Amino acid sequence: MRYQPVKLKYTSLSLDEIKERSQFFYDLIKTRRSIRQFSLKKIDDNIIENAIKSAGTAPNGANLQPWHFVVIKNKKIKKAIRKAAEKEEEKFYNEVAPPEWLKALHPLGTDEHKEFLEEAPILIAVFEKKFSIEKKVKIKNYYVKESVGIATGILISALHYSGLCMLTHTPNPMTFLNKILKRPANEKPFVLLVVGFPKSNTKVPKFASQKKSLDKISTWYN
C-alpha cells in the first residue's frame, strides 16, 4: 500500500479552553478507583461499544492494530473464568508469590477469592495479537505490548468517563482465557477488565488513593 496523505481534521481551541479541558480531565480521572464490589445493574451495550471503538483509535505499530476485545456477559462463561482464575490465584498466593510481593499487596486487601468475576455485569478480555492472519496470510505485528497497553489505557479512561467503575485483573498465567473464549493461538491475554457499577457502600483501600506527586513522576527540561 502506498503512502496517501490526507488533510488533518483539527479543531483549534483557545488557550483558556485547552486549560479548562486539561483541568476537567484531570479532575475526572483522579477519581478513578479499582473496585471489587459490583452491583447487578446492567450496562447498555452502546456504552461498551463506544469505549471499545475509542480504544481502537489508539496509536500503534504500523497501524496494524494488534488487539482484540472480547466482551463477556454470559453467566456460565463468567463462572468458568472465575473458577480458572481462582485456581491460578490460589497457587500464586500460597506457592508462587515471594513474601515481599505479598507484603506489597497487603494494604490493598486482595486474596485468591474473585467473586467479582461473576458479580460484575461485564468482563472485557483484552488480547494482544503477536501476528495477524488475513486471507490465510501471516502478518507480523510490531510494538504489540506497547500498542495494546496504550489501547487499554484509552479503554479504561473511556469507561471511567462514561460513569462506569472497573478493576484490572491479571492472573498469571491467563492462558485459560484462550480456551474458555475460544481465541486462536496467535492471541495472548493482556488484561481482563471487570466492568460495572459499585454496590452501595462499596469500600476501596485508602492506600490506593495515595498517588505520587508530579515532581516524583516527571522530569522537565525547560
Q: pTM value?
A: 0.94
Q: What is the pLDDT of residue 113?
A: 86
Record the cell numbers describing residue 120, joined without a space: 460484575
> How high is the pLDDT of residue 162?
98
Intra-chain end-to-end CA distance of the chain, in Å? 41
E-assigned strand segments in 46-205: 67-72, 122-129, 131-134, 137-140, 165-169, 187-196
* pLDDT for res 97: 84
Look-up of cell digits 457499577: 197
Please report the pLDDT score of residue 42 as a whole number.
96
194 Cβ contact list (under 8 Å, min separation 6): 38, 116, 117, 120, 123, 166, 167, 168, 169
> What structural domains does the chain harbor?
35-198 (3.40.109.10)
The predicted structure's pLDDT at residue 153? 98
Interhelix angle for 144-161 vs 15-29, to 10°? 90
User: What are the Cα distances from residue 27, in Å, to 21, 30, 157, 202?
Assistant: 10, 6, 13, 21
Residues of the chain below pLDDT 70: none
Summarize pLDDT for 149-204 with one digit per residue, the tens: 999 999 999 999 999 999 999 877 899 999 999 999 999 999 999 999 999 999 99
